Amino acid sequence: MSGMRLVNRLLAVLAALAVIAVGVLIPVEIVRAALGRPHWLLPWETWTADLTRNSWQAGPVRAVLFTVAAVGLLLLFTQLRPRRPTVLALAPLTADVAASTTRRSLQQTLQRAATEVDGVAAARARVGRRKATVTATAHVRDPAGLLEQVTEHVRHRLEGLALARSPRLSVRVHARESR
Amino acid sequence: MNPRADRGNRAVLIVLGLLLTAAAGFGLALSYGAFGAARARRPVLTPATRDFVHRNHGWFWLAVAAAAVVLGLLALRWLLTQIGTDRVRQLPLEPDTRAGSTTLAAGALTTAVTGEIESYHGVRQAAARLLHNPRRPDLILSVAVNDRADLAALRQRIEEQAIAHARQTVGRDALPVQLQLRLAPGPDRQLR
């Protein structure tokens, strides 16, 4: 499970518990007030007095409004921010079979494909929805001829997978830093 | 874990975020005079509002309490979806249960399908589970494959043989399947 989903699950538990508390406390306070008893956990007498005394321009009222707005915007920002997909769909083959691969394993296989080329010391791959970038480090100081070979090898690996939407492939080869 | 719960969480959190932002935005607009300076100087709880509540206290507080209980119950349901998965353990095979019922243990099906897939050349490991509704389950397959194998042929074999056999077993040609292929290094690379 990815980090964001875990955060969301925590947020969901906290928000649900808060709403459940409201759902219990409000009826309890209403019944107590109807029976002429003082408040139990929600000091509604004080709140009523404060809200009757303070105008919309009052500092504490604005502070509460700004806090609520900040929480709301933060929630919207974290939920609506585009996430890199954890899985990428493969082109359909049979009816009612939704095939996919994980982005992480695709990155690793592209990395391995690049390092399988002779002369490549190491490689890093990043895959997004639209673009796949492979950066290879060459053993040799002059990697001019390697770029084509690495691109060919990585492209072959990528195409063999038949993704539903093939990301644009971008390959870079760096010479090993001379020491 | 339950992917439906994750989608649900995101949807509910977006709705919560929208509600909080809209309510606070409205209050701030009021506070900074967007609805007139006189409106901004009025108390948050006006005497008119208090009068209204006072005159209608019979149904008003009943409605507030009812709304709070409904919200609380919805939140309780949301909380319960966070725990547990909706994994299916028994599959009913007979649509008509009047003449007795036949069920298939989900484990028998998943063991058979993973065994078949793992026997294919190029497959490292396979896992299967049935999720959601027992009458209309989804088969979730996770297969680690050697990334140097012929993936097109391997996938065709999985879909046209193993998945077809699983569908025959449960008697549902349209059993929805989610097939996740993980690309793993080939065994030859580990020896190097």
Question: Taking CB atoms and an 8 Å limit, are A68 and B64 in contact across chains?
Answer: no
Tens of pLDDT, residues B47-96: 999 999 999 988 999 999 999 999 999 999 999 888 767 788 888 776 66
Chain-chain contact of B72 with A90 (C-beta, under 8 angstroms) = no
Total residues found in chain B within this entry: 192
pLDDT, position A177: 67
**pLDDT over 90, % of chain A:** 70
pLDDT computed for residue B6 by the predictor: 80
The answer to whether the CB atoms of B174 and A96 lie below 8 A apart is: yes
Q: Which amino acid is at A176?
A: R
Which residues in chain B show pLDDT less than 70? 1-4, 84, 94-99, 187-192
Nearest to A12 among B13, B23, B182 (CB): B13
- pTM given for the model: 0.70
From B105's Cα to the closest Cα of chain A, the distance in A is 22
**pLDDT value, residue B139:** 92
Average of pLDDT values for A43-64? 92
Given a contact cutoff of 8 angstroms between Cβ atoms, the answer to whether A61 and B113 are in contact is no
Q: Give me the pLDDT at residue A170, please.
A: 94
> pLDDT value at position A2?
66
**What one-letter code names the amino acid at B151?**
L
Q: What tens digit of pLDDT does each residue of A113-150 get? A: 999 998 899 999 999 888 999 999 988 777 778 899 99
Chain B contact present for A10, CB below 8 A: no
> Cβ atoms within 10 A of the Cβ of A124, count?
14
Question: Is any Cβ of chain B less than 8 angstroms from the Cβ of A156?
Answer: no
Task: State the Cα–Cα distance between residues B138 and B172, nearest whole angstrom.
Answer: 11
Closest residue by Cα to residue A140 from A120, A111, A170? A120
Q: Choose among A57, A73, A5, A67: nearest CA to B19.
A: A73
Minimum Cα–Cα distance from A52: chain B residue = B45
Min Cα separation A39/chain B (Å): 15
- What is the rounded CA–CA span in Å between residue B135 and residue B129? 15
Record the tokens describing residue A23, joined without a space: 């759902």
Q: What percent of chain A has pLDDT over 70?
A: 97
Average pLDDT score over residue span A77-100: 90
Q: Can you give the pLDDT at residue B192?
A: 41
Residue in B6, B28, B44 closest to A54 by CB: B44
The shortest C-alpha distance from B170 to chain A (Å) reads 15
For the segment A48-58, the average pLDDT, to the nearest whole number, is 92
Contact, B169 vs B112, CB < 8 A? yes
Q: Which residues of chain B are within 8 Å of residue A49 when distances are taken between CB atoms?
A: none
Taking one residue from A and the other from B, the number of pairs with CB-CB distance under 8 angstroms is 205
- For CA atoms A8, A10, A13, A18, the dihedral sign is negative
Mean model confidence pLDDT for chain A: 90
Mean pLDDT of all residues in A11-27: 94
How far is residue B192's CA from residue B189's CA, in Å, rounded to a whole number?
5
Q: What local confidence, expressed as pLDDT, does residue B97 receive? A: 62
Backbone angles phi, psi at B66, to 5 degrees: -65, -45
Three-state secondary structure readout of chain B = CCHHHHHHHHHHHHHHHHHHHHHHHHHHHHHCCCCCHHHHHCECCCHHHHHHHHHCHHHHHHHHHHHHHHHHHHHHHHHHHHCCCCECCEEECCCCCCCCCCEEEHHHHHHHHHHHHHCCCCEEEEEEEEEECCCCEEEEEEEEEECCCCHHHHHHHHHHHHHHHHHHHHCCCCCCEEEEEEEECCHHHHHC
Query: In the structure, what pLDDT confidence band is assigned to residue A6 with cuts at 50, 70 and 90?
Result: confident
| pLDDT score for B19 | 96
Contact B147 A94 (CB under 8 A): no
Residue numbers in B near A9 (CB within 8 A): 5-6, 9, 82
Q: Which residues of A touch B43 (CB under 8 A)?
A: 51-56
Write out chain B residues lying below 8 Å of A93, CB-based: 155-156, 159
- In this predicted complex, what is the ipTM? 0.71
**Torsion angle of alpha carbons B1, B3, B6, B11, nearest 10°?**
-160
Burial, A38: exposed, middle or buried (Cβ in 10 Å; 0-12, 13-18, 19+)?
A: exposed
Distance from CA of B97 to the nearest CA of A (A): 27
